[in-house]
Amino acid sequence: MKFIPLILRHLRRNWMRTASTVIAMTVCIFLFCTLQTFLKAVNWNLQSASSSRLVVRHRVSMVFNVPVSYKARIQSIPGVETVVASNWFGGIFRDMRNFFPNMAVEPEPYLAMYPEFILPDDQKKAWFADRRGCIIGRRTAERFHFKVGDTIAMDSFIPPYRIGHPWEFRIDGIYDTDPVRYPGTDLTMMYFNWDYLYETLHAIRPNSSYTAVGNYMVKISDPNKAGQVSKAIDDLFENSDVQTRTETESAFRAGFLAMIGNLALLLNSIAIAVMFTILLVVANTMSMAVRERRKEIAVLKTLGFSSALVMSLILGEAMAIGLMGGGFGILLGHWMIQALPNLPFLGDAVRGFPELGLTLPTAAIGMGTALALSLAAGIIPAWLAYRARITEMLRQI
């Protein structure tokens, strides 16, 4: 403890250099924390995927639809319990900044397939009976102060779903979840009646390939047979005009994210590149600090400071830089992650991740990384100071 003022004094010696290094470390840890939080939010979303649910989609791309007629044929395959049609709607409530994910689904079988959505019975019944009805997750309802019974109007950004006027939906229910039993359940979604979408489009463009099903959600009786059932479904449509690709729900979600590339690899590569750069920056700072202080190191050793103590003081300086940079980086990351959903452009990209927030473990890993980086950067200059002989250092002056 009594050496801390000495360490801080040395850091203040060239405050511009110290400040630059601390800022570099701050940016590094800020990026690390933000990217890791983003990845965590993505992974959190995958947690809620069930191994007993499959997703059937167009083999070429999920932007193409599959025929309505496939439902009965999928239902006939052994091992399949329920088949539910669903379409990604891409509806926007007033403004892009208000985006929340929304899908058309078949209400009753869908809720049966997703026990994680908890809804009072009267709201369930109201939705099942309401062609224009919808249910909304608690988070979105709170965000926009939606109440049961409200009517909302939305336009879709998907061209085939633009019909010249807004789609109107009545809120029949607000769903919750049990976060302990069903971690990762998204409470920002809106689900509306698939019949409403299909019938409206069919009335306008009956022969359009978009007047069809986006994908089928399939509940299977035995999760261990997911591969077998998936193959059976795809084999069934092998010789059809529209071939399918069937995969587990988690694989489907991961694939959805993979559309923008291997996100984890990309983000981790960025983080590693930044860290390596910072390692060099801090190492350079420490090397310069030690090189210009050779005389003082010799004096300290002459006064009786052991080589190990001198080494510790230099490592202490490096770690103080890491501690400051890590602390500021975590604070900046925390602030930025809070602010991110409200930023233009970037906000739209992250708003779909409801659990976006800097967690204590991520912050701890960030701080650990900062300290490890600074320790690694300081170890060689510290070792050189440890080994340097007093007489040689004094002679070089």
Partner 1 sequence: MATGQVAQTGTRIAVDVQQVRKIYQRDAQQITVLDGIDLRVPEGEFLALMGPSGSGKTTLLNLIAGIDRPTAGRVVIDGTDISTLGEGALARWRSRNVGFIFQFYNLIPVLTAIGNVELPLLLTKLSAKQRRDRAMTALRVVGLEDRAHHYPRQLSGGQEQRVAIARAIVTDPKIIVADEPTGDLDHKSAEEILELVVTLNREFHKTIVMVTHDPRAARHAHTERHLEKGVLESNGAQAGAK
Chain residues that interact with partner 1, rule: CB under 8 A = 2-3, 6, 9-10, 12-13, 295-296, 298-308, 389-391, 394, 397
Residue count (the chain): 397
CA distance 172 to 57: 29
| Beta strands at 151-156 and 53-58: parallel, antiparallel or unpaired | unpaired
Q: Which is nearer to partner 1, 13 or 181 (CB)?
A: 13
Give me the least distance between CB of 302 and partner 1, in Å please. Answer: 5
Q: What is the largest CA-CA distance in the chain?
A: 94
CA distance 39 to 20: 29
Q: Is the dihedral of CA 388, 391, 396, 397 positive or negative?
A: positive
What's 257-313 look like in SS3? HHCCCCHHHHHHHHHHHHHHHHHHHHHHHHHHHHHCCHHHHHHHHHHCCCHHHHHHH
The phi and psi torsions of 73 (rounded to 5 degrees) equal: -70, -40
Give me the least distance between CB of 10 and partner 1, in Å please. Answer: 6
Q: Which is nearer to partner 1, 165 or 387 (CB)?
A: 387
Give me the least distance between CB of 325 and partner 1, in Å please. Answer: 21
- Number of helices (H), then strands (E), in the chain: 15, 10
CA distance 229 to 166: 39
Give me the least distance between CB of 44 and partner 1, in Å please. Answer: 48
Give me the least distance between CB of 389 and partner 1, in Å please. Answer: 8
Q: Which is nearer to partner 1, 75 or 306 (CB)?
A: 306
Give me the least distance between CB of 29 and partner 1, in Å please. Answer: 27
Q: Which is nearer to partner 1, 9 or 165 (CB)?
A: 9
Q: Which is nearer to partner 1, 270 or 308 (CB)?
A: 308
Q: Which is nearer to partner 1, 249 or 317 (CB)?
A: 317
